[in-house]
Amino acid sequence: MLSGIFRPRTRQKAGRELPADSCAEFYDSLGEGVRELPSFDDIVEPAEEFDLCKVIDVAITQAVRDTGQPFVCPPREKEERVKNCVHPSSAYGCARRLAFSLLELNKNLTDIDTKMHRIFGNGHLVHQRLQGYLFECLYRGLGEIEAVYEDVMLQIPWLVVFGELDAVVVRRGQPYLVEVKSSNRKGFDQLREPKPEWLWQTYLYMAATGIRTAIVLVECKDSQRMKQFHIEWDWETWDEIHDEILAVIEAVMDGEIPNAPGDAPCFWCDYSHSCEDPEPDWSALDRIHLPVI
Ligand code: SF4
């Protein structure tokens, strides 16, 4: 059983109003049945590995051959992010940053280097394009892919996690969670395993959906080469991730903000403007759907 909110195999919005700007309202907007995490007893066994990069290559080749045009994926709208919560993509790393996110501190989106905006924008476009390839594989009947779901909204209530995973690909009846990433050439060449922040993010998606096998699909920004990493669920890894996030939530609930590391503020962080002297609005705690501990 999958607990995410699965969207149709189209690029249209699902018929659900998205999200209110607080976790509590967001919960209220959800119907019953999507709040329960799956029982791991019900989940299928880990799926076998398959070469998704190769399947995508074939899909692109066929699409270009059929149309005589470069393969272009249509743009799509991005939903507004839920606030006062843990976002899987930024769960790993700085505990202080995670606390700021829970307290809904204002982000400094205008003063950060415009280069960072271009990097973020580029990352979004890579997601769109690679998601498009997955659909192309489906439509062309390649790789024994039976279904593709994109932008699956999900939650883990007691960790105040709200997120949207990139895709779920179903092959031979087995769901594979697909997480799209991009990296510059140097980073790409050095990648031997998923980065820890990718692992955390993927684990949070796996925990929320009950899918035990994930593929992290990485594209090199400089050369468009791709590589993939298979991740299988492991309870020890999950316990570590779970406990670290919970510790931050507990600290925030106790009115504490974790210390900054020595080299703060960090130039890339959208909270860098208030990192040294944060002035949190503690009433934001009321908007967090507090976990049951
Ligand atoms: S500026 Fe650095 S230390 Fe401060 S919240 Fe951001 S990542 Fe953490």
Per-residue three-class SS string for 64-132: HHHHCCCCCCCCCCCCCCCCCCECHHHCCCCHHHHHHHHCCCCCCCCCCCHHHHHHHHHHHHHHHHHHH
Confidence of residue 104 (pLDDT cuts 50, 70, 90): confident
Average pLDDT over residues 284-291: 67
Confidence of residue 265 (pLDDT cuts 50, 70, 90): confident
Least confident of 160-164, 187-191, 223-227: 160-164
Residue 32 scores a pLDDT above 60: no
pLDDT in the model for residue 275: 87
Q: Measured in angstroms, how far is the CA atom of residue 2 from the centroid of ligand 1?
A: 34
Looking at domain 108-293, does it have CATH number 3.90.320? Answer: yes
pLDDT in the model for residue 78: 58
Q: Measured in angstroms, how far is the CA atom of residue 265 from the centroid of ligand 1?
A: 5
- Ligand 1: which of 248, 266, 276 to mutate, judged by most atoms within 8 Å of the beta carbon? 266
Average pLDDT over residues 47-60: 87
Does ligand 1 have an atom closer than 6 angstroms to the CB of 261? Answer: yes
Furthest CA-CA distance within the chain? 61
Greater model confidence, 283 or 21: 283
Atom of ligand 1 nearest to the CA of 276: 4
Q: Measured in angstroms, how far is the CA atom of residue 38 from the centroid of ligand 1?
A: 34
Q: Using alpha carbons only, how large is the chain's radius of gyration in Å?
A: 19
Average pLDDT over residues 18-47: 44
Residue 197 scores a pLDDT above 70: yes
Residue 215 scores a pLDDT above 90: yes
Tokens in use for 42? 């019900």
Q: Measured in angstroms, how far is the CA atom of residue 234 from the centroid of ligand 1?
A: 29
Does ligand 1 have an atom closer than 6 angstroms to the CB of 289? Answer: no
Residue 243's Cα: distance from chain center in Å? 19
Contact assessment for residue 143 and residue 137, using Cβ atoms and an 8 Å cutoff? yes
Residue 118 scores a pLDDT above 70: yes
Sign of the CA dihedral with 73 first, then 78, 79, and 82 last: positive
Does ligand 1 have an atom closer than 6 angstroms to the CB of 134? Answer: no
DSSP codes of every residue in 162-209: EEEEEEEEEETTEEEEEEEEEE-HHHHHH-SS--HHHHHHHHHHHHHH
Q: Measured in angstroms, how far is the CA atom of residue 261 from the centroid of ligand 1?
A: 8
Greater model confidence, 230 or 157: 230
Confidence of residue 267 (pLDDT cuts 50, 70, 90): confident
Does ligand 1 have an atom closer than 6 angstroms to the CB of 94? Answer: yes
Does ligand 1 have an atom closer than 6 angstroms to the CB of 265? Answer: yes
**Smallest CA separation from ligand 1 atom 6, residue:** 269
Highest mean pLDDT among 45-54, 115-124, 129-138, 150-159: 129-138
**Cα–Cα distance measured from residue 188 to residue 39, given in angstroms and rounded to the nearest whole number:** 36
For the chain, what is the mean pLDDT?
Answer: 78
Does ligand 1 have an atom closer than 6 angstroms to the CB of 269? Answer: yes
Q: What is the pTM of this model?
A: 0.79
Atom of ligand 1 nearest to the CA of 95: 8
Confidence of residue 142 (pLDDT cuts 50, 70, 90): very high
Reference 289, options 163, 157, 105; nearest CA is 157
